[in-house]
A and B are shown apart, each in its own frame.
Chain A
């Protein structure tokens, strides 16, 4: 075996392993690893690939349910959506690469998650993205926003997969560490799912897709496993470069070999490239793999085994096929002008053996590399400053004198303004399945030839999570589920991307553990298990970490898509009703931060039973076709939610709202109490709405009427406090985002 570089503890430390991990690697091999083997260990045991800090806690998540076909552990999760079909989906982070090189970082994030879904056999049907940027005024923000949005569009648009929704938020905690979480959902027949297994001794291992280059070495895997220092710019060469055209061909070729049943298993080469794809496929099947690295198509001559195993070049797949199918597989890939090269074979010895020109260059046991990967129960403790955050003395916060001004300031603020500037750079209509386009509470996709629809919503309020991570975790689940239920769809399961700071700091680990507990509780109560996801730690630059941001993407199903409920008001004369109750809560609200500059207090309380009842009510209101619209009340509270029901291009309707409340007026208008939805209903259906609300134990209060004034009038306890021309509001609401990016 070649010893191109002598490995010592020092080499291992430089590769990111600890001394303990290095010793463990030595004991698994029964000798000191050579340089190539060390590289593979370091990559596979990086935080990004091994989940070593989170694994122990992730066990708390509910993962089972009657609709779950495939839970966590595969490339993506799978749920049964009825009619013999499944939805395959996952969300994944690409935070650090996107900060270093926003266009390519975001683009390859989209490319990676698309591969995760189509490697399972499903044609991708929808992309969503959850984005977090620093303060609007920060010098880097416009550059990062423009690059990330263009990158997401550049990749998804070319692939012909619609980007149908997501979120964009600004907060100063992301100034030095933005978040780019990319989600893809695909659909296929329940009998068409493919798994990433290298089964069948003697079967051939085929490398397919783009050539391997030196890009992305120490990329996603290692870049995502350390906090940023000031040298972020120098890391640019570690970001991969995407080629959506190659991926589009790869998608078609992969689906073709799957549909023709030419292959046994398939896995995309994402983070950790050839290393993780080969080891994971062998590990899952309990087999071994031999690979001849000199047969791997490369972009440049002279690549070493180390470089070949660690490259994160994009648009590549590893395929296992029976020997007599190899030529047929190659034919399909050649039809699409893609490489498909036999590089090795499945063996029965459980070893990954790598050869270079017939010389053995690495030999590692496959299963132990993942199964015996280190697991850390890192210490965690509640930060000393946490209690002081809860202090909020409302008596010291002045009630605004002019609510019209406050309302206008809020609706045209960075976090509440229209995201059209972003969404209009995405192709949201390709595929001709997008029923609710970006801007709705949840995206809604039809499935051609079938009656059902799929609703998708991503959500996380990181301010809530910062103030109380456990409650914040619950809130992310219930709000994403409520958004799905507003369309009439039943929330089925979710995927998550847990974005946190450095887990080696006990206070960050505490945030993580608390958020996981909260997510688990809420998910169990709503019967919505997690089926896939990822953890992104080390979201820090220097010493400052991000606010904890556990992004949840909830997926639901509506049986009859023709009964889906939109969020906008539709007709003059319709009655506006509030489902749920406004409580004396203002902590962690957008209003407090934006108007008073305060981020404090406790987030709104969660009542999981009432929340579940509300969702069931919404689903049945849709089924019985009682209501004309439903919109979740979230950031900015009731006044902003009602305005959002009126913001259409052009504005056609107005609303006359009369509230009776003993609460402070700013709480009544802008408080963010949970479990509330604004619905509109025609007068002759009002009784049916009331009856059904009673049946589900949900408060239902008539608060106004839709009219054609194109004005939002809100009267509180007989005093008119907001009167806003919605055509004017539309202008400031829709133009704000362009201002943020300096256009």
Chain B
């Protein structure tokens, strides 16, 4: 399994993501935003960071990078595209996923471990989890308050495209566990064909026992298994 990790100016989780993929046994390489060749990647990852400084709207300029045209073509042809944090915001801006991000309801940067519940396991990214599992995982964002209009939300729910929801430690879905104020506690959603995934929390930061956080590791294992590289 070869992951191409896109580097925008201002990306800052690109190296962490490559390290996490490699530590799970996958192959990963960097794709510069001015390139257009995806170099045979099986999965494109848009990493966290502050692409172009996020001075307009988060992700708003990154979507116009040369590489994004190739990424959108790739996704349209059924390719796997995974956006984490700022990468999720880029997916929303580029229309690969529906909705938008608003500033956290606390009006502050949110940098801490939170809990999310795995809602669906029928994606290439989550099939190694049990449905309903609660993951402890770091978030680090200022604009992670997911918003979509009522019709879109209904569609996402009906098609079971909400993959992760913010929750309390015991898995309870509540406002208390929803620190950034996202609608329907949405922490991650997928595309209609379930092959494009965007999530605000950082699985690459929860992939090493020495850090006391490894609940994100199964995402990389899911991907490897999807490509038949792990029994």
Q: Which residues of A contact B (CB under 8 A)?
A: 150, 153-154, 157-160, 243-246, 248-249, 335-337, 420, 423-432, 434-435, 446, 448, 561-562, 650
Contacts and interface: CB of A to CB of B under 8 A. Distances in A.
B205 interface: yes
B33 to A, nearest CB: 11
B19 A448 contact: yes
Contacts of B213: 429
Interface in B164-221: 169, 202, 204-205, 207-208, 210-213
Given A432-B16, A432-B205, A432-B208, A248 B10 contact: yes
Given A426-B109, A448-B19, 15 more contacts: A153-B109, A157-B111, A160-B12, A160-B13, A243-B53, A244-B50, A244-B53, A248-B50, A249-B9, A420-B112, A429-B111, A431-B16, A432-B205, A432-B208, A562-B210
Contacts of B13: 160, 430
A435 B210 contact: yes
Contacts, number: 90
A158 B10 contact: yes
Contacts of B207: 432
A429 B140 contact: yes
A434 B49 CA distance: 17
B116 to A, nearest CB: 15
Given A248-B10, A430-B140, A425 B55 contact: no
Interface string B4-22: 0000011011011001100
3 smallest CB-CB distances across A and B, nearest first, come from A160-B12, A245-B53, A427-B140
A424 B110 contact: yes
B138 interface: yes
Contacts of A159: 12
A538 B116 CA distance: 50
Contact of A425 (B9, B49, B50, B108): B108
Given A424-B112, A430-B16, A446-B210, A245 B9 contact: yes
Contacts of A434: 211
Contacts of B112: 420, 423-424
20 contacts: A153-B109, A157-B109, A158-B10, A244-B50, A245-B9, A248-B10, A249-B9, A336-B9, A420-B112, A423-B112, A424-B111, A425-B110, A429-B202, A429-B211, A430-B140, A432-B16, A434-B211, A435-B211, A446-B210, A446-B211
A657 to B, nearest CB: 27
Contacts of A246: 53
A428 B111 contact: yes
B74 interface: no
Nearest to B111: A427
Contact of A245 (B52, B169, B204): B52
A574 B79 CA distance: 53
A425 B205 CA distance: 17
B57 to A, nearest CB: 14
B60 to A, nearest CB: 14
A311 B193 CA distance: 55
Contacts of B205: 429-430, 432
Interface string B106-138: 001111100000000000000000000000001
A650 B48 CA distance: 29
A430 B212 CA distance: 14
A432 B10 CA distance: 17
B110 to A, nearest CB: 7
Interface in B19-72: 19-20, 34, 48-50, 52-55
A244 B51 CA distance: 11
B109 A425 contact: yes
A153 B16 contact: no
Contacts of B48: 430
A249 B211 contact: no
A374 to B, nearest CB: 42
Contacts of B55: 245
Contacts of A426: 109, 111
B211 to A, nearest CB: 6
Given A157-B140, A424-B112, A427-B111, A432 B49 contact: no
A503 to B, nearest CB: 38
Given A336-B9, A425-B109, A429-B205, A160 B53 contact: no
Given A432-B205, A434-B211, A446-B210, A337 B9 contact: yes
A245 B210 contact: no
A153 B12 CA distance: 14
A432 B50 contact: no
A432 B109 contact: no
A33 B138 CA distance: 57
Contacts of A562: 210
B19 A432 contact: yes
B209 to A, nearest CB: 10
A246 B55 CA distance: 12
Contacts of A429: 111, 138, 140, 202, 205, 211, 213
Contact of B10 (A249, A423, A427, A561): A249
Nearest to A249: B9
Nearest to B55: A245
Nearest to B112: A424
Contacts of B54: 158, 245
B17 to A, nearest CB: 9
A599 B16 CA distance: 48
Contact of B111 (A153, A160, A244): A153
B7 to A, nearest CB: 9
Contacts of A423: 111-112
Contact of B50 (A245, A420, A448): A245
Contacts of B10: 158, 245, 248-249
B159 to A, nearest CB: 32
A52 B16 CA distance: 44
A336 B32 CA distance: 11
Residue of A246, A423, A427 most packed against chain B (CB within 10 A)? A427
Nearest to A248: B10
Contacts of B138: 429
A434 B15 CA distance: 15
Contacts of B53: 158, 243-246
Contact of B12 (A248, A335, A336, A425): A248
Contact of A160 (B20, B49, B110, B212): B49
Residue of A160, A246, A420, A432 most packed against chain B (CB within 10 A)? A432
Residue of B16, B53, B140 most packed against chain A (CB within 10 A)? B140
Residue of B52, B110, B205 most packed against chain A (CB within 10 A)? B205
Contacts of B110: 424-425
Contacts of A248: 9-10, 12, 50
Contacts of A650: 169
Nearest to A428: B111
A561 B208 CA distance: 13
A329 to B, nearest CB: 18
A629 to B, nearest CB: 14
Nearest to B212: A435
B200 to A, nearest CB: 13
Contacts of B52: 245
Given A157-B140, A245-B52, A432 B111 contact: no
Contacts of A420: 112
A159 B9 CA distance: 11
A686 B16 CA distance: 40
A731 B52 CA distance: 40
A26 B55 CA distance: 48
Contacts of B108: 150, 424-425
Residue of B48, B50, B52 most packed against chain A (CB within 10 A)? B50
A650 B168 CA distance: 12
Given A157-B111, A248-B12, A432 B140 contact: no
Nearest to B14: A160
A426 to B, nearest CB: 5
Nearest to A336: B9
Contacts of B204: 432
Contacts of A446: 210-211
B86 to A, nearest CB: 10
